[in-house]
Each structure stands twice: as structure tokens, then as C-alpha cells.
């Protein structure tokens, strides 16, 4: 498996679960990866039962152009049955990996979150078409992403598998009930325009009752959000905590009475999953999400949904949870149960291994 995402220690639990199912697994990651939300350095945290290694990367932090100069040597040495490129089909790394795999007679697959039908300019359009031909099966993070694959001409098999689940033993409810006091509202993620944190600030500003807002994350909108909190007169009630390491997230989430993901759809993006939702749900924390992209599917009956961009509806959701502690407990329990049924790392690993098995027994890999 080649995955820049697995530089994050918490995400490595999926690889452990895959290995536990009897797969002889090697994970190759870059030494580090960064984007608008911040930078992560590869940290082997959950690496029991498989080989975790970093390899050189070119054009690091460039989503479309990054690739691995030694990948050919790695594949020649390892000779795996399957190459899992944990990348979108329209970037250079996936094209490089599947091209090498085809030359070596290795079955290849890729992963996609792309849930908007977008056409890419050359050479990425040609890379994407080549990857479609070379992968007999693909993984899509959602039904919308699977539909985009079909609309763009992919004819191979598709398994809908979220990229990562959660470890329910790590992301678990606190041992003691939340103490009485102000409602503790939380957000965790990028401080980016599409994440809608400005909507959350405006919604909180009109709440009737005592509350505090804890914002975890970094991004280009931080200064604007701090200024907005001051303009709204709520700066004293808002804490901008910076970005937490993945190993600190469960502890942060357990300090909350409710977590909010107020994403807004843009012409080039809609929420692809919202991993923080299942992390909070696993901790028994009630969640509120907008209806952008995959959020309603992820939450199901395990939380509250409001129409994106609607400050009034988000405020009403928050007010209902502030006024009704029993509702918070009920929703929190539903969310935990939903994660245990659908979104554990073990469940994601089982689905991934099933795809590997199908890929190895498929009649042939499409020709380049």
C-alpha cells in the first residue's frame, strides 16, 4: 500500500487490522506531507504485524504532481500480488504506481473521494483514463464518488469503502459523566472557508444560555475567524486551540458536549466524508452537521442535520441540545452504535481485504 495519509499515526490502525486478517502487508509513505490544514511527519505509531517504511518523494505537498522516485525498485523487490495506491486516479503518483504494476504483472487498485464530476486538463485527464484502464477494481469513499467514476467512464468493479474508520477502543466515551456547566461546543478540522466555521460562530452568538466554543485546527481563515468572534462580541467564549496530533483527538473530543461540522458546498468541493464526525460519535459525543455532501449519510440517525449555510437552523439544533441533556445522551448513544455497526477500522479493513481477494481472482487486469 502506498499512502501519504498513513503518515498520520491514528490512520495506521487500518493497516494493523488488514495485517491481522492474514495479509502480508508493506506500507510505503513519504517522510512527511502537508496541505492547507498543516503538516504531518511520518510517525510509526500503529505498526504491529506489517512493514511500515518511508520512501523518498518528489513534489512533496503537491497533490497532483507528487510521486515516488524509488517506487519501481520497491515493487521489483517486493513483487506483491496487489498494489493499493491510496490516491485519487487523476494524480501522478497513481499513474506512476499503476503503470509500474502493469509492467510487473501486479494487480493494481486506487481510492477516490472525488464526489463532484470534474474534468481535468492534460496531462491529468490522460493519466486518469490510463488508470481506469489499468485497475480492474477501484475503491470509492462514497456512493457519490462511485457515481462520478461511472460518469467518467470507469468500467471496472467498484467497492464503496470509506478510506478510514476509527478504533472504538481509543475513540470511546469518557469514564465519568460530563460535569454540569456551560454547553461545551466543539469544532475540529481545517480553518478553511468551505468548512463553515464562520457559520458556527454566528450561530453560537445568538444562543440563549451559557456556552463555550473550542476550535481545534489551523488554516488560512484563522485570523478572519478570530476577528469575527471579536465583532460578534463572543471572543471571551471562544478558544482557538491550534492543531492537535492525531493521538490527542480522542481526549479533546471527550471534553465536548457537542461537535459541529458546518461545511458548505462550493463549485469545486462538497464534504466527502467528515472523519471527525465518526471520531466524535465513537466517543459518545452528539454531532451536528450540515447537509453538504456525505455528512447526512455518515450521521444517519446518530446526530442532527441542518441545511448548509443556515445559521438559524444550526442555532436551533444547538439550542435544542443545550436545553435537553437527555437528548444529548440519547443522540450520543445512537452515534456510538452507528460507528460500531459501520465505521470501525476493523470493518473497513475487512471490506478492503475482500476487494484484494476479488482483485486477485478477477479474470484479468485491463490493458494499458
Tell me the mean pLDDT in the region 143-164. Answer: 96
Cell numbers standing for residue 124 = 491529468
Is 80 exceeded by the pLDDT of residue 37? no
Instruction: Name which of 279, 285, 298, 292 is nearest 256 in CA terms.
Output: 285
How much is the average pLDDT of 240-244? 94
Those residues whose C-beta lies under 8 Å from the C-beta of residue 59, and which sit 6 or more positions away, are 65, 66, 67, 92
**5-165+344-361 with 183-342: one CATH topology?**
yes
State in Å, rounded, how far the first CA of the chain is from the last one.
Answer: 21
251-296 pLDDT, tens per residue? Answer: 999 999 999 999 999 999 999 999 999 999 999 999 999 999 999 9
What cell was used for 25? Answer: 502487508
Q: Read off the pLDDT of each residue in 79-104 and give the average, rounded to a whole number.
A: 97
| Unique residue bearing C-alpha cell 478510514 | 164
How many Cβ atoms from other residues are within 10 Å of residue 118's Cβ? 12
**Is pLDDT above 90 for 10?**
no
* pLDDT above 80 (res 178): no
Sign of CA dihedral 81, 85, 88, 92: negative
CA–CA gap between residue 108 and residue 94 (Å, rounded): 10
CATH of domain 5-165+344-361: 3.40.50.2000
- SS3 sequence, the chain? CECCHHHCHHHHHHHHHHHHCCCCCEEEECCEEEECCEEEECCCCCCCCCEEEECCCECCCCCCCCECCCHHHHHHHHCCCEEEECCCCCCHHHHHHHHHHHHHCCEEEEEECCCCCCCCCCCHHHHHHHHHHHCCEEEECCHHHHHHHHHCCCCCEEEECCCCCECCCCCCCCCCCCCCCCEEEEEECCCCHHHCHHHHHHHHHCCCCCEEEEEECCCCCHHHHHHHHHHCCCHHHEEEEECCCHHHHHHHHCCCCEEEECCCCECCECCCCCHHHHHHHHCCCCEEEECCCCHHHHHCCCEEEECCCCHHHHHHHHHHHHHCHHHHHHHHHHHHHHHHHHCEHHHHHHHHHHHHHHHHHCCCCCCC
pLDDT for 232: 98
Residue % of the chain over a pLDDT of 70: 98
Model confidence at 346: pLDDT above 50: yes
pLDDT value of residue 36: 74
What ranges do the domains of the chain cover? 5-165+344-361, 183-342
Lowest mean pLDDT among 103-117, 174-188, 301-315: 174-188
In degrees rounded to 5, what are phi and psi of residue 173?
-65, 155
- Over 60: is that where the pLDDT of 57 sits? yes
For residue 216, which of 244, 192, 253 has the smallest C-alpha distance? 244
Distance CA 217, CA 209 (A): 26
Other Cβ atoms less than 10 A from the Cβ of 179: the count is: 6
Alpha carbon 37 to its chain centroid, in Å, reads 13
Residue pair 133/108 in contact (Cβ under 8 Å)? The answer is no
pTM beyond 0.85: yes
- The sign of the CA dihedral 51, 57, 63, 65 is negative
Please state, in angstroms and rounded to a whole number, the distance separating the CA atoms of residues 103 and 345.
Answer: 32
The proportion of the chain whose per-residue pLDDT surpasses 90, expressed as a percent, equals 92
User: Alpha carbon of 106 to those of 52, 53, 80, 92, 159: distances in Å?
Assistant: 20, 20, 7, 18, 19
Alpha-carbon distance 229 to 199, whole Å? 11
**pLDDT, position 363:** 66
CA distance 14 to 348: 7
Architecture of the domain defined by 183-342: 3-Layer(aba) Sandwich (3.40)
Question: Does residue 190 register a pLDDT over 90?
Answer: yes
Amino acid at each position: 500500500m502506498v499512502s501519504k495519509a498513513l503518515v498520520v499515526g491514528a490512520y495506521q490502525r487500518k493497516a494493523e487490522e488488514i495485517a491481522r486478517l492474514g495479509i502480508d502487508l508493506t506500507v510505503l509513505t513519504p517522510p512527511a506531507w502537508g496541505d492547507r490544514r498543516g503538516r504531518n511527519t511520518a510517525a510509526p505509531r500503529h505498526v504491529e504485524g506489517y512493514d511500515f517504511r518511508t520512501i523518498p518523494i518528489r513534489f512533496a505537498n503537491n497533490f497532483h504532481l507528487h510521486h515516488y522516485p524509488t517506487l519501481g525498485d520497491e515493487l521489483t523487490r517486493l513483487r506483491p500480488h496487489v498494489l493499493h495506491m491510496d490516491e485519487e486516479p487523476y494524480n501522478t503518483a497513481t499513474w506512476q504506481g499503476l503503470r509500474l504494476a502493469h509492467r510487473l504483472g501486479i494487480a493494481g487498485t486506487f481510492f477516490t473521494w472525488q464526489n463532484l464530476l470534474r474534468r481535468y486538463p492534460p496531462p491529468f485527464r490522460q493519466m486518469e483514463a490510463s488508470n481506469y484502464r489499468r485497475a480492474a477494481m477501484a475503491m470509492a469513499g462514497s456512493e457519490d464518488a462511485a457515481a462520478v467514476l461511472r460518469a467518467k467512464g470507469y468500467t471496472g468493479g467498484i467497492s464503496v469503502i470509506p478510506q478510514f474508520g476509527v478504533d472504538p477502543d481509543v475513540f470511546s466515551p469518557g469514564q465519568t459523566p460530563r460535569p454540569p456547566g456551560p454547553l461545551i461546543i466543539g469544532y475540529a478540522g481545517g480553518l478553511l472557508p468551505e468548512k463553515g466555521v464562520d457559520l458556527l460562530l454566528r450561530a453560537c452568538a445568538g444562543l440563549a444560555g451559557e456556552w463555550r466554543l473550542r476550535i481545534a485546527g489551523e488554516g488560512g481563515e484563522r485570523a478572519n475567524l478570530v476577528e469575527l468572534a471579536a465583532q460578534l462580541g463572543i471572543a471571551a467564549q471562544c478558544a482557538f486551540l491550534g492543531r492537535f496530533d492525531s493521538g490527542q483527538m480522542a481526549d479533546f473530543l471527550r471534553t465536548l458536549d457537542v461537535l459541529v461540522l458546518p461545511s458548505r458546498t462550493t463549485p469545486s468541493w462538497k464534504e466527502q466524508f467528515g472523519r471527525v464526525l465518526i471520531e466524535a460519535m465513537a466517543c459518545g459525543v452528539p454531532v451536528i452537521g450540515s447537509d453538504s455532501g456525505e455528512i447526512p449519510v455518515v450521521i444517519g440517525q446518530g446526530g442532527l442535520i441542518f441545511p448548509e449555510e443556515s445559521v438559524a437552523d444550526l442555532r436551533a439544533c444547538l439550542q435544542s441540545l443545550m436545553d435537553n441533556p437527555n437528548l444529548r445522551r440519547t443522540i450520543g448513544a445512537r452515534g456510538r452504535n452507528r460507528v460500531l455497526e459501520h465505521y470501525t477500522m476493523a470493518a473497513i479493513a475487512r471490506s478492503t481485504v475482500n476487494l484484494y481477494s476479488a482483485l486477485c481472482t478477477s479474470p484479468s487486469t485491463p490493458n494499458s
